Structure 1
């Protein structure tokens, strides 16, 4: 990875993209330190520390939520809007047609996603202002509430723009990198708190060793699954076009064990945050708020187990869902048949589609179960070790997954420029 970055830095165009990406991430971190107007931060911090799910939300926002800054909502509304649009694309024929129209159709869907993001940000900001943190308002009043709502909504809209700019002009997926930067930003503070607790004897060295072993195992597992690929051999028959002969070569279709990357985990965490979002309107002391804190909280029992089971189910579902969107066995089989390709031992057409679907379902199940396991198992273990580093399986999965995907994009751009130089 370091070698790749070093080589990429030598290419002027890539160096510019890396600098641009880093600059926008710095803007994100600076914005995460600008407090929202009219809020008592100490009251907000006490509320966040009491609610386990809010602490996890604070981790993904890079501490912006716990400090109630202008980026307190983080990029979560955009992720939720993306989930909704992906589901509607499958359910509504008109949106499905737009998705198949190519670049123009995708631009239209992206526009709808932006509108949905602003609407969801308004809803969440209203819930925070008049619900969860209404007691933290220094000067309660309609005008101050409206200013706070507009500020938080504008912060999310700006983050969405930052993410899109990184994706378009920088390196990597902008939205994923913003989440990545938010998680990384919380590590130093968590490490300091951990060493402080070790010195006071509140946490044993054995617990730290368990934590480090879990982190190492997760990192190794994520790399293995992310890089794991099932290669389906494909043979192309020889055909004569005019005076030239085409085909006759052997190749393969790479089916990744984890075709969807970290997207299912991010989607699942966003859905699991919905009950907590509803409590923003009703308050933690309401009947619904106490029910969520007891049964859907990642801290304490029995909430930790129910939360983990539901998270696992959602991760498996979104893994299959996102894989079905990104890889279409019918289309692949049709293209193979069109150009004279076939899988040895499998007839072209429908048998090829059925074979690809069967293989894809099997390896996707392995990837989905792995994602669910490394997400919920460390969460349960760390819940009983009381280590104050908010870096469970979900965070490690996102950090490692985003790092690998970003490096692959860097390598692909380097390879593309290598071929361009060769052709010149």
Structure 2
């Protein structure tokens, strides 16, 4: 499978791309949608004083810098999409886990398109609830945070501003969700992942500027910059290698008679990716970890810092800061858990074994049916362990190293993993469209020759 895709990729040309009108339209639609996303990140919440807010952006957000990276800097600008898609991702985690544990939701999941539509509706309800909760604490925290620094970032503080901010944030997140769905259906690639990737890529210029400016002023040593850049290159190569790695199981079919009367057995392979879950585990883990941290950090600004509860909140924020051992441990555990969880969601060994049995296929040396399902589960569990270790190392180790280097930027392994993975997936989809277009041209030519004859 991989070799065939590589051979096709080597034969691609700009001529083939220019003839694929539908593909060009899809790409232009995707680019236009991402431009709209970037414009929205500069639209501030109603009632915000931009000049006063600009004075607050110089202060670090702590662990929420990762949240700010995923939203393309929308959080520090307090735009209408400051919450990004994180509430939707968190809600989808809760719904998927509930569907795997609750009998009625599990039955709903098995109903097909109707059941999935109902679960998506529950996910949207959860998204609105989380947006309202996070938006309220964000608005209240912004008022007190600005006041504690002697600034008035909110023109008219009070309940009217908070209600307006909550409504705007809910509208911004739901619009991003709709935009992602439009990209998926009318554009190229997964819309939600592309929007998250676009937010990360939008931070690259400021990342490079901060890095080299720190080298120029002497805050960051030249050896540190060289080590960090080398680490990025190695990480990208390592991610590309691991994302293409797969375990190919031999599938054999019964002998069938050919046109010449000979009996021939068909063989194929069932590819099992080393990282079946893709970028979902780090996104889920970070989203689930950032939800309470967002509420805690902004709620902490509204509480008396001298009180016992206020000191407890500040202690929690300190221990869960990015690069801190507790944060890294919880993040690693979340990645490992969601790697196994999401792999179980997207790949069902029993269903795969039943499909093989219905088509007459079998794994040599393994009985069809239950034994095949057990063998697939055994192999998938082993490679998922390797995949979970790979994701944990890529996402956690670079963040720890960045914290040790003292680099004031937040481009860790999680961001690189998302960017590289989504880019590879999008390129694969473009190649699939071009391949389908080539096959369509061949079929048209064959029909034309048949008519001429």
The structure-2 alpha-carbon separation of the partners of 1:8 and 1:283, relative to structure 1 and needing over 3 Å to count, comes to farther
Question: Residue 196 of structure 1 aligns with which residue?
Answer: 213
Equivalences, count? 417
Please show how residues 229-248 of structure 1 align to structure 2 within 5 Å.
Answer: 229-238=246-255, 248=265
Q: 2:287 aligns with which of 225, 247, 270?
A: 270
Corresponding residue for 2:3?
Answer: none
Which is worse superposed, 40-49 or 351-360? 40-49
Match of 1:46 in 2: 56
Query: What residue is the counterpart of 2:77 in the other structure?
Result: 67
Q: TM-score, normalised by structure 2?
A: 0.87
> Conserved in 1, the CA contact under 8 Å of 2:143 and 2:157?
no
- The answer (yes or no) to whether the contact 1:61–1:183 under 8 Å persists in 2 is yes
- After superposing on structure 2, the runs of 4+ consecutive aligned residues of structure 1 that deviate more than 3 Å are 1-10, 40-51, 131-136, 244-247
In the alignment, which residue of structure 1 is the partner of 2:408?
A: 388
Offset of residue 259 of structure 1: 0.4
Residue in 2 that maps onto 1:127:
137
- Answer with 277-286 or 91-100: which moved more: 277-286
Structure 2 vs 1, CA of residues 405 and 9 (structure 1 numbering), >3 Å: closer, same or farther?
A: farther
Deviation, 1:346, is 1.2
Q: 1:142 to 1:411 in 2, by over 3 A?
A: same
CA shift in 2, pair 1:196/1:107, >3 Å: same
How far the C-alpha of 1:355 sits from its partner, in A, is 1.1
RMSD across aligned C-alpha pairs, in angstroms? 2.2
| Maintained 8 Å contact 2:64/2:294 | no
1:14 correspondence with 2:23 = yes
Given candidates 178, 198, 202, the residue that maps to 2:195 is: 178
- 1:4-403 pair list within 5 angstroms: 6=14, 7-41=16-50, 42-43=52-53, 46=56, 49-131=59-141, 133-136=143-146, 137-238=154-255, 248-280=265-297, 282-284=299-301, 285=305, 286-299=310-323, 304-403=324-423
Q: Normalising by structure 1, report the TM-score.
A: 0.93
How far off is 1:3 after superposition?
A: 8.7
In the aligned structure 1, how far is the partner of 2:195 from the partner of 2:365? Answer: 46
- C-alpha distance in 2 between matches for 1:239 and 1:212: 56
**CA-to-partner distance for each residue in 1:334-354, whole Å, 9 max, x for gaps?**
111222211111111222111
Give the match's secondary structure for 1:233: strand
Distance 2:218 2:175 in 1: 43
Unaligned runs of 5+ in 1: none
